[in-house]
Amino acid sequence: MKKLLLCFICFLFILFLTGCESSSKMNNDYFEKKQDFSMLANCKQNEMEYTLSIKKVGNQTRFAYVSPENIKDLCFVFDSEKQKVSYMGLDINEENGQLLKAVLPEILSKAIEDSLAKPGENIEGVTEYGNYTAIIDRESGLLKTLALPNYNFKCSFVSE
């Protein structure tokens, strides 16, 4: 009887451990899936305010200006292999990544990518362009705010 009870307790212990492992894996999978998103970013830099539509799918992040009207539809696309800027039918593709260095959407893209890869809700990080702070809603897996102090840039996000 003692052996049967001992086997039953060992079985429950093993079941508990495997349950914990699958729960942890589910949470990691959830956050990895939430790395793709579509949001509107309300941004302020110095005295200028504008809105960007940001869509991230896989390794590609697309930034399209929604306002102000004079740069509406100016679009930047960044992925691991190439970059693209388009405006009013004119497309410029760049494969070695030198043309669009240090434009705000690229700086923003690097900070977003870096912040989503880190655990926690209040993130402080550094990219090749300087420091950033971000607040991430880990329930939804989406950004709430992002600030780039070196560029006097602040941004708040809402789902699109």
- Could you give the CA distance from residue 33 to residue 78 in angstroms, rounded to a whole number? 19
Residue with tokens 């708040």: 156
What lies within 8 Å, CB to CB, of 80 at 6+ separation is 59
CATH architecture of 36-159: Clam (2.50)
**Residue 159: predicted pLDDT:** 85
**Residue 135: predicted pLDDT:** 92
**Residue 32: predicted pLDDT:** 45
**Residue 90: predicted pLDDT:** 85
Could you report the per-residue pLDDT of 28-56, keeping only the tens digit for each? 343 444 568 889 999 999 989 999 999 98
- Could you give the CA distance from residue 78 to residue 60 in angstroms, rounded to a whole number? 6
Residue type, 97: G
**Residue 20: predicted pLDDT:** 40
**Residue 151: predicted pLDDT:** 87
pLDDT per residue of the chain (160 residues) written in tens, 0 to 9: 544 434 344 343 343 333 443 333 333 343 444 568 889 999 999 989 999 999 988 888 888 999 999 889 889 888 877 788 888 888 888 776 565 565 778 788 888 888 878 888 898 988 888 899 999 887 877 889 999 998 899 999 998 7
Q: pTM to 2 decimals? A: 0.68
